[in-house]
């Protein structure tokens, strides 16, 4: 996040993350609490689309770390919401088969997403869905994707994905990216947090796993022991 509000709790209270809300879930909110230093664009953005994305950060009981998205690429704001203000939660996989607004399907990100739905071989057997601008637009029916937008994907991998399978999947996604003229950025959701598919497929000795407690360099994000209380 480019800007982040100070948490509405003391650091010792930030001991866990509410498992009802997972990173990249889109939350529809009945209200957005205001904090000191909030950027001027936030209220207009929330009025246009009362949604926020769950971000990776430890919080206290009944508080969720969220990110608000503005109309411009630079407009990203990390803040906090009360769980009582959450009306609905949409996981990325719930959006995988949604259709964009009329006339928007020709945009490269949506064209690539449609191709993934047709090409069962690429993600067959995986639970996956769009995040980023494509996911936001599909959830809110508010324009967020441009001609140059990437297609961001979340792929749930609770069980270990072999390096060979990761490399094959990355090759298929890269081929589709070349065909549609955009970048496809896929993230594996592992027990240790989010890991870039490209990093795991590259065979690096350690990969960056993004977790609520902070990023970690791990040899195997499926066998890593998480910090106590997380």
Q: 1, 69, 7, 72: which is closest to 33 by C-alpha? A: 7
Of 150, 168, 174, 185, the active-site residue reads 150
Answer yes or no: 152 catalytic: yes
- Is the distance from CB of 109 to CB of 148 less than 8 angstroms? no
* DSSP code string of 32-46: ----TT--TTHHHHH
Answer yes or no: 168 catalytic: no
Let me know the angle formed at the C-alpha of 176 by 126 and 116, rounded to the nearest 5 degrees: 40
> Residue 210 gets which letter from DSSP?
B
Cα dihedral 58, 129, 152, 102 sign: negative
Enzyme catalytic residues? 150, 152
């Amino acid at each position: 996040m480019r800007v982040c509000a100070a948490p509405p709790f003391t650091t010792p209270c930030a001991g866990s993350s509410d498992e009802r809300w997972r990173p990249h879930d889109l939350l529809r909110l009945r209200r957005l609490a205001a904090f000191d230093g909030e950027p001027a664009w936030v209220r207009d953005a929330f009025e246009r689309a009362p949604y926020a994305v769950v971000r990776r950060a430890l919080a206290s009981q009944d508080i969720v770390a969220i990110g608000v998205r503005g109309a411009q690429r630079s407009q990203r704001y990390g803040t906090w919401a009360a769980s009582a203000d959450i009306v609905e939660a949409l996981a990325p996989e719930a959006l995988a088969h949604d259709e964009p607004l009329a006339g928007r399907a020709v945009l490269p990100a949506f064209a690539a997403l449609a191709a993934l739905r047709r090409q069962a071989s690429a993600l067959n057997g995986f639970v996956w869905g769009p995040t980023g601008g494509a996911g936001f637009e599909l959830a809110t029916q508010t324009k967020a994707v441009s001609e140059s937008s990437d297609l961001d994907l979340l792929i749930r991998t609770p069980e270990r994905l072999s390096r060979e399978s990761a490399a094959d999947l990355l090759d298929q996604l890269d081929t589709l990216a070349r065909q549609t003229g955009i970048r496809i950025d896929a993230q594996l959701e592992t027990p240790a947090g989010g890991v870039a598919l490209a990093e795991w497929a590259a065979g690096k000795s350690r990969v960056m796993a993004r977790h609520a407690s902070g990023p970690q360099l791990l040899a195997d994000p499926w066998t890593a022991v998480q910090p106590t209380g997380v």
